[in-house]
Structure 1
Amino acid sequence: MARIVISEFMDEAAIRDGLAGHDVLYDPNLVDDPGRLAAECATADALIVRNRTQVRGDLLAAAAKLACVGRLGVGLDNIDVEACKARRIAVFPATGANDVSVAEYVIGTAMLLLRGAYGSTEAMAAGSWPRNALSNGREISGKRLGLVGFGSIARETAKRAAALGMEVAAHDPFVAADDPSWSGVERSEIHDLLAVSDVVSLHVPLTAGTRGLIGADALGRMKPDAILINAARGGVVDEAAVAAALKAGKLGGAALDVFDAEPLKGAAAEVFAGCPNLILTPHVAGVTAESNVRVSGVTARAVANHLKGR
């Protein structure tokens, strides 16, 4: 019987059904107690995490028996993949399991920010009737969506955008020109994409090459009424530059679900005070009731199969 430590929230049915027969410690608050987490990992054969548990350095060193890491999501920037590879620790992201959730988040926030009519509840409940002020909202149909990165989530986003009448372009040098996924989507260089898109959505991992990709220069190339959406990784966007562009009227709106430092707090949070047409969410674009079931099931099966095959 293997010992499995789960340090962040996970669907309990997936734990019960997918990890039956193992010694499982499930504590979704364990991520917030680094000392106890390291102590529990000392005897763990498997560790299951979301994005907050940093599987690197001291924690990896403490987990001397670790055979695999299950990631309840797709990004791996919180896991030292190279160190795991060197120790032959398998890493299992839940690839594809939350694609729909993120794609819906992108389209939903794009529609909300373009229309601009959904922040009037308080004023109307107080007796105001701001009809004229809210009559200049924009339709999503006929707008141009620019996808920076064209992996599986971006492709799901493109399908939904096309169904709503959007034109779709994408930039991704790692997707071959003859890949069939380009059907109906224009291949574009990033500078051109930024300059002509009404909505720009980011779908890239955080790497040395993508850190700070959308900073003041990139924002300056965008249309002044364009919408920026980042549900990919914090650090890809210069948050202060986005806030400055919104306040200066040089960006039409933004939705940020991920941040360079999470949780967002202190001075990093204060930079957004007073920004118009801004949506901030706490890294939940890929987390829905449905995706949690899918992600948890995929991860539980991957971990259980790996432990069974040792």
Structure 2
Amino acid sequence: MKCLIIDRVHELIGQELSKYMTVDTKLLPSTAELAQIIPDYDVLIMRVDPKITKEVIDAAKNLKVIGVCSVGLNHIDMDAAKAAGIQVFNAPGMNANAVAELTISKMLDMSRHVVPAHLDVTKNHEWDKYKFVGRELRGRTLGIMGFGRIGRRVGELARAFKMNVVAYDPFLKPEDFEKEHAKGVSTEELLKVSDYITIHVPLTKDTKDLISAKSIPDMKNDCIVLNMSRGGIVNEHDIYEALQKGEIGGYATDVMENELAGGIPGDNSFVSPLFDCDNFLVSPHLGAQSVDASYDIGVLITAKVKEALNLK
């Protein structure tokens, strides 16, 4: 048997699977490149790039298992995989704490103007604390869109800061929120009452442009929006316009609509009008990039692959 690893994942995956099969690595091939090389492989280990299309699935004559070292599966044609008898495993929950901690970090950075203050000192060589009057999280209301593992962990951390937590999740009952000391509300209510809105839902046709020119007017004009989920859930043009007009307090994100997992190829650069906004904070999809989450994901995916292939 043969295994192909196409992204940076914890080394234990390759080490463990190499006991049973040949393990090759080719980092971030394009979809077309993957379609050419995949026919020889029984196992594919990946994260979120490239897209696993029907063409890739059709070319994967020997493929039995796809191990996805992340949560979302919207980059895989699941219908084609199922039809081909390919088992697809992801790692839900394994990065929950890492993403939740990043969310809180960005809330604090935005609230206390940490990045512009840092740049003012290091680039402008000024020392003026009066330019950066922030606000505390204590007593503010945090609205959580999506109350799964990550959303619940964010809520737990927020309560340590004495925040009020409201949440929306169409798959949960009122008592599910109450168990987590949160109040279940509608999206309309969440937008209206929240000082911070943090997004932890998958990208689907229903969640695309969830935050847009249609929903932004319902928010407080000093509300800070955080997106640690997927690009496309927040309409970047609309939120840019809102930031420019002062219709919201800020936008902090770990994802963007046109991101690529391995960066921008060649001499191209990654640009966006948002980069010119002072109240905008971005990182390159590093939510799960902790040694702790990487190890936990590696252990889980390795175990699932071994179970699927009946490897002892």
* CA–CA distance in structure 2, aligned partners of residues 33 and 87 of structure 1: 21
Report Cα offsets for 1:178-199 as digits up to 9, x if no partner.
Answer: 3366431001010110111011
Return the offset for 1:72: 0.5
CA contact (8 A) 1:247 1:274 kept: no
Question: 2:276 maps to what in 1?
Answer: 274
Structure 2 stretches lacking a partner, 5+ long:
none
- Cα distance change on mapping 1:271 and 1:122 into 2, 3 Å: closer
Q: Does 1:233 align with 2:226?
A: no
CA contact (8 A) 1:155 1:181 kept: no
CA contact (8 A) 2:142 2:166 kept: yes
Question: 2:129 maps to what in 1?
Answer: 131
In the superposition, the TM-score normalised over structure 2's length comes to 0.92
CA contact (8 A) 1:18 1:297 kept: no
Return the offset for 1:56: 1.4
Report Cα offsets for 1:33-72 as digits up to 9, x if no partner.
Answer: 4444223210111111101121112211111111111001
Question: 2:289 maps to what in 1?
Answer: 287
Letter in 2 for 1:153: I
Report Cα offsets for 1:164-221 as digits up to 9, x if no partner.
Answer: 1111000111112233664310010101101110110011111111111111121111
Identical positions, percent: 30
Structure 1 stretches lacking a partner, 5+ long:
none
* CA–CA distance in structure 2, aligned partners of residues 36 and 220 of structure 1: 44
Query: Secondary structure at the residue paired with 2:9?
Result: coil
CA contact (8 A) 2:156 2:180 kept: no
Return the offset for 1:153: 0.7
Report Cα offsets for 1:13-52 as digits up to 9, x if no partner.
Answer: 332035522111123x2x2344442232101111111011
Question: 2:186 maps to what in 1?
Answer: 189
- Cα distance change on mapping 1:56 and 1:34 into 2, 3 Å: closer
* CA–CA distance in structure 2, aligned partners of residues 249 and 223 of structure 1: 11
CA contact (8 A) 1:257 1:281 kept: yes
CA contact (8 A) 1:5 1:40 kept: no
Task: Spell out the pairing of 1:236-275 with structure 2 (5 A cutoff).
Answer: 236-263=233-260, 269-275=271-277
Letter in 1 for 2:299: G
Letter in 2 for 1:207: T
- How many correspondences in the alignment? 306
- Cα distance change on mapping 1:123 and 1:271 into 2, 3 Å: closer
Report Cα offsets for 1:99-128 as digits up to 9, x if no partner.
Answer: 001100111101110111442234324542
In the superposition, the TM-score normalised over structure 1's length comes to 0.92
